[in-house]
Amino acid sequence: MQRCSIALLFFLLVLQVSAQQPERPRLVVGIVIDQMRWDFLYRYQHRFAENGGFKRLLQNGFNCNNSMIPYTPSYTASGHASIYTGAMPSVHGVTGNNWFNLTRREYMYCTGDSSASTVGSSNDAGKMSPANMLSNTICDELKTATNNQAKVIGIALKDRGGILPAGHKANAAYWYDSKTGNFITSSYYMPTLPGWVLQFNEQKLVDSFYKQGWDTYYPIESYTQSTADENTYEVKTFGKGFPYILHSLAGRNYNLLMATPHGNSLTTAFAKAAITNEQMGADSITDFLAISYSSTDYAGHTFGPNAIETEDMFIRLDLELAELLHYLDQQVGKDEYLLFLSADHGAAHNPVFMKDNRIPAGNLLPSVLVEELNKWLEQKFSVADMVVDLINYQVVLNVPAIEKKRKLSVQTVADAVVQYLQKQEGVQHAFVLEEIKQAVLPAGIRQAITNGYFKNRSGHIQIVCKPQYLEGFDKGGTTHGLWNPYDTHVPLLWYGWHIAHGESYREMYITDIAATLAALLDIKAPAGSTGQPIHEIVKQ
């Protein structure tokens, strides 16, 4: 009788303790598709497999159809940082992939860290960390909430796609070394690669992918949503057109893989290996796996949004997502993981393509514009090289050179630059960034620019292009970075643990993702978060 009483007491005690623990999924999976426009969900929907990834998320998850990026410039690093911090670049400080630091008078890379060293390779590709991101992430908050028991891992081909989402306290972030074809990391995380990563790299999957080449998944004549193959809107990176024969690259050039669907396949394979070997989602303590699919961006820059290559890339990505979801079902449990899918930015169409289709479009060529500006300013003020660069659609002035000239102020030069820029084709507005309140702009554009401005990491003068005008890409390929919907309207899908099927067209922002995760997990939002929980998700 006494033994029964003790057992009953123990059971009730365990039950009480477990009842006090917040209910959480075993694993959170964040997926960011690098350079995915929102309209691709529907443009290619009839091409996605019935048992594929996108249709499963659309038919069983929650679709936030009007998810926007609330700042500009809209670049990869800024997007990943904003999704996971819930903050704007004006708060987290990641104003682009690269920026010119006005205080230190030098260029900075978003994840560059000279104090770190490469782990897994002999080159500098691992001299990286999240140190330049000033806010913590939702992954950091999960680590704190579980007393560092949660396991957090970031994975991407791009270093910034793996590092920034995982945050400052991550167990690991891994990215692709394009010189060796291996996944590597940084001494910021660990002194040596785990055995399972070494074993993964030893498989040399990249060489086997190259031997497969790249042909269209469906017969090429069925790609009616895209411009005919071998057109003038693309960069001929792999040759004339499909099928691409890549076997000669094996063991010789590991860089070009990233612009093929095989880059996404490699990412999925590595993510599955991480889930298994790190036992992610294996116990009651919630883990977080942040995955970024980078190859869509490399292909987008190379071929543009209207290419057969881009359509085929997303058809094959759909199958990768299906494989990942099936693996999560098997390893973690179908209702035991929470997943979201979004994008860091979209992309514009190639300007030549737009013109050929009777849409006004054009280019600003930064190097040409800087050279012309410097010549004009030197004639006007007798000072050489007064403009350092045009980066992130912002002009950076050479303040020390200007201040050496007696009776010449930075304000005078800035006003002159604005005057010059406003006469350029493709420039709709130009103004001194610190005078944005006086700029005659629609409120939404003004707010987006303000949200992206971080003193000393932004330039002096902002350029607002006319629609369909962009930096560079005057021949093939395309880019992104502006406030326009083609760059800032991105997908946002939720699936899995406690997510009911539904959709909303209410305006939401990628900065709402971290706040929503915080509400679902019953943890604090990141320190810099300005987002709001998406009530359609949280109330379910």
Of these residues, 76, 137, 260, 267, which one is catalytic?
76
488 is annotated as an active-site residue: no
CA 20 distance to own-chain centroid: 37
Using CA atoms, how far residue 424 sits from 90, 170, 418, 421, in Å, is 28, 46, 10, 5
Q: Give dist(CA 172, CA 110) in Å, integer.
A: 18
Angle ∠(535,42,213) on CA atoms, nearest 5: 120
Nearest residue to 266 via CA among 163, 345, 181: 181
Question: Residue 408, Cβ neighbours under 10 Å: how many?
Answer: 16
3-class DSSP state for residue 52?
Answer: coil
Pairwise CA distance, residues 479 & 347, whole Å: 6
Q: Where are the alpha helices (DSSP H) in 278-361?
A: 295-303, 308-331, 351-356
How far, in Å, CA of 184 to CA of 125, rounded?
8
What SS3 string covers 475-489?
CCCCCCCCCCHHHHE
The CA dihedral of 99, 101, 105, 108, to the nearest 10 degrees, is -50
- Nearest to 393, CA basis, from 328, 323, 465, 337: 465
C-alpha–C-alpha distance, residues 261 and 268, integer Å: 11
51-81: buried (b, 16+ CB within 10 Å) or exposed (e) per residue?
ebbbbbbbeebbbbbebbbbbbbbbbbbbbb
Question: Are the C-beta atoms of 499 and 61 separated by less than 8 Å?
Answer: yes
* Residue 29 and residue 57 in contact, taking contact as beta carbons nearer than 8 Å: no
Joined tokens for residue 49? 């497999």
| Contact indicator for 116, 186 with CB cutoff of 8 Å | yes
Positions marked active-site: 76
